[in-house]
Structure 1
Amino acid sequence: MHTDYEGKKNDLLAKNPNIAFEMDCNHELYYRESNMSCNFRYESVVGTGRVEIVLEEEKEKALTLLMNHYHPVSVKFNPKFVHMTQCMKIIVNDMTAKRAMPKKNTLDYKVMQFQGEVRSPHMYEEKNRS
């Protein structure tokens, strides 16, 4: 994680570095006509751990690892901004993962466009025909 040196998050972590975390990805809203149900495909991880401050000499490596997660090309960091950024790491105590990834190859599996409200596939098709 990275953050500024001041703020509510830092104040709370200074008082108690123990945390719970959750991450999820690969979301897809789908509808099955055979049983008239909507659901989500997803993968998730939840766990608990302890936050520790990354030492000054390890910050550039930590920021590089973070950036590499989002972009394949390595970048150089301005030392001024590295010094101004607080980096933290999570020491994981325990975690568990879950996935709901039903097979897509059934005839009645329809991916729905998620726009903040759930619509039946027929309503979506009719809207697009107009």
Structure 2
Amino acid sequence: MRRTDRQIHDGEMVESILRQAQVCHLALVDRGAPYLVALNYGFHFQENQLTLYFHCARDGRKLDILRSNDSGYFFIDTDHRLVEGQSACQWSMKYRSVAGSGRVETVDDEVLKVEGLLRIMEHHSGRTDFEFDSRVLEHVLVLRMRVDAFTAKSNHPA
């Protein structure tokens, strides 16, 4: 990270970004070319270990790519605020973000699939009291990214 003065080391601040943001941009590599998709997500963050969860249909380009390359890269950002300046070069954008990489895998075990779906629902609704019909679970695919490395950054005053 070039601007180490903006790096966030505090785990509670990292979790705050993950909770506040609504969309994760997931990048995959398809035969040497980038493929980027915006997804709703859920997460588990404990002791500086991050796991992201996504749900999707059982087929599609993401899955085709993941069959040959399970490396993924993500970017989550929030708190955008445009800062105007006197000249064009003095304009700026305030933000907070978490970015990183890891391996993306499909979750086949029903118990783990429900855990991933509950993380997604908790993130977006604040609730964990959902139940999932096993017939519905057969048609939903849950992806899990075990994050190997990430950095968090803020361009907001402390």
Give the TM-score normalised by structure 1: 0.69
Aligned length: 103
CA 34–6 in structure 1, closer or farther in 2 if over 3 Å, else same: closer
| CA distance in structure 1 between the partners assigned to 2:57 and 2:102 by the alignment | 21
Counterpart of 1:44, as a letter, is: S
What's the secondary structure of 2:84's corresponding residue? Answer: strand
| Residue 120 of structure 2: aligned partner | 66
Deviations 1:20-76 (CA, angstroms, capped at 9, x unpaired)? 111111111122459983211101111111012222331112101110001123322
Partner of 1:109: none
> What runs of 5+ residues in structure 1 fail to find an aligned partner?
104-130
Alignment gaps of 5+ in structure 2: 1-53
TM-score by length of 2: 0.58
Change (3 A) 1:7 1:34: closer
Q: Give the direction of change, closer, same or farther, for the CA distance of 1:36–1:93 in structure 2 (3 Å limit).
A: closer
State the match for 2:135 in structure 1: 80
SS at match of 2:131: coil
4+ runs of 1 displaced by more than 3 Å?
32-36
- Paired amino acid for 2:121: M
User: Which one has the bigger strand percentage?
Assistant: 2
Structure scoring higher RCO (CA < 8 A, sep ≥ 6) equals: 1
